[in-house]
A and B are shown apart, each in its own frame.
Chain A
Amino acid sequence: MDARTEEFTEFVQGGGQVETGDWMPDDYRAKLVKFIEMHGNSELMGVLPEREWILRAPTLQRKLALTAKVQDEVGHAQLIYRVVEDLGKPRAQCLQDLVDGKAKFHNVFHYPTKTWGDVGVIAWLVDAAAIISQKALLKCSYAPYARIMKKICWEESFHILHGRDVILTLMNGTSEQRELVQEALNRWWGPLMTFHGNPIAAEDDPMVFWRIKSQANEEARQQFLDGYAPQIWELGLTVPDPKLRKTDDGVWEYTEPDWDELKRVVTGHGPKTAERLEFRRRFLEQEAWVRQVVLAEAA
């Protein structure tokens, strides 16, 4: 490592924050682009499972709330791709890599949404898991990314409330509605347990090395279990893991999640991966004329 990189490393590891125009090592820039682009892709792909329910939402209020959530998430994607663009990778390239299957997006967005119960579980628990990662990113060594995270976290907090409201309404309804929630929870528990990634030690995680992330994967998962397992149980729901318990020293134990499934899913082999990427590709092509017209008028 040359002296300049060493100095930079010491700076970010000590809590220093980097701006767009500052010198940075190529590896740092590459890791930032990879991490932030995946976040942007996830926001953009994450609206597709929810979009499927806009027309089937049970009330007008729910329909409007879900539409607003979809708008928020697409807005997050726009903010995040802007940060990637300033690091040197154009948005058009990000979108192309995404639809070509060359880029990743979060595991939870590769699964189907079978019932309205899934929509509630996603907005409540998937967004809760996401906000834990995103809150940790408020301390990211790359300042422009950390700054937009404030707005993103603020909007995610509405989504969790919306999700919790959907779940509570269903739980206070009929036994069929309660069953709907339990079934959805059973479906989503596996993906939720792998959401924060494999339990790689902080010192081995290159994203932690550069303080792009400031939290180890397992730490995030423990925080999720600590916050949400009790909230799930108090509603009379069952977590589909008989081994889940909090030990006396405050650590959550659970059945080893299926890491092979996580790997399969995020490398493009999830149950809905191909269909959703195809949907994105179709719209990217279908709306190309809008971009052409707008950009031509400006030129």
Chain B
Amino acid sequence: MIFEVFRQERRGQAFAHAGSIVAPDIEFAEAWAREQYGRRQESEALWIVPRDAVTEVHDFPDELNKTYHRVDGYSLKAKLKEARERAGTAAS
């Protein structure tokens, strides 16, 4: 079985993928992951997950061009300029 190993380097940080190991079961997987990723106390914690349990998702199409929930959907520069000019507060 292939197990994916995620490690957290310091408390509070996100777990990041570290690599994978082949092991017959979770007990062996834990023992080997400890050797590979923890023997120098370089990890705060590990997640060991059977590869089969991971659902991978790709491709995030945006057919409707839904820019309203992204920062690039709001180009305020030109509008702000116009508003300042109208209010008479534009830098000269």
Binding site for B on A (CB under 8 A): 21, 71, 75, 78-79, 82, 85-86, 91, 147-148, 151, 294-295, 297-298
Contacts and interface: CB of A to CB of B under 8 A. Distances in A.
A72 B36 CA distance: 9
Contacts of A79: 19, 36
**Shortest 5 CB-CB contacts between residues of A and residues of B:** A298-B24, A298-B25, A294-B24, A148-B19, A82-B20
Contacts of B35: 71, 75
Given A21-B56, A75-B35, A298-B1, A82 B28 contact: no
Contact of B20 (A21, A86, A91, A295): A86
22 contacts: A21-B56, A71-B39, A75-B35, A75-B36, A78-B36, A79-B19, A79-B36, A82-B19, A82-B21, A85-B22, A86-B20, A91-B22, A147-B19, A151-B18, A151-B19, A294-B24, A294-B28, A297-B24, A297-B25, A298-B24, A298-B25, A298-B28
Contacts of A148: 19
Contacts of A75: 35-36
Contacts of B20: 82, 86
Contact of A78 (B21, B28, B39): B21
Looking at chain A's contact residues, the main secondary structure is helix
Given A79-B19, A85-B22, 10 more contacts: A21-B56, A71-B39, A75-B36, A82-B19, A82-B22, A147-B17, A148-B19, A294-B28, A297-B24, A298-B24
Interface in B1-53: 1, 17-22, 24-25, 28, 35-37, 39
A137 to B, nearest CB: 15
B41 to A, nearest CB: 13
B48 to A, nearest CB: 14
B91 to A, nearest CB: 40
A71 B40 CA distance: 12
Contacts of A294: 24, 28
A196 to B, nearest CB: 26
A298 B17 CA distance: 25
B67 to A, nearest CB: 26
A54 B22 CA distance: 28
Contacts of A297: 24-25
A294 B36 CA distance: 19
Nearest to B28: A294
A248 B84 CA distance: 61
A75 B25 CA distance: 19
A295 B37 CA distance: 23
Contacts of A91: 22
- Most A CB contacts (10 A, CB to CB) among B19, B25, B36, B37 go to B19
A82 B19 CA distance: 9
A243 to B, nearest CB: 42
Contacts of B56: 21
A82 B2 CA distance: 9
A85 to B, nearest CB: 7
Interface in B58-87: none
A52 B78 CA distance: 73
B40 to A, nearest CB: 8
B62 to A, nearest CB: 21
Nearest to A291: B24
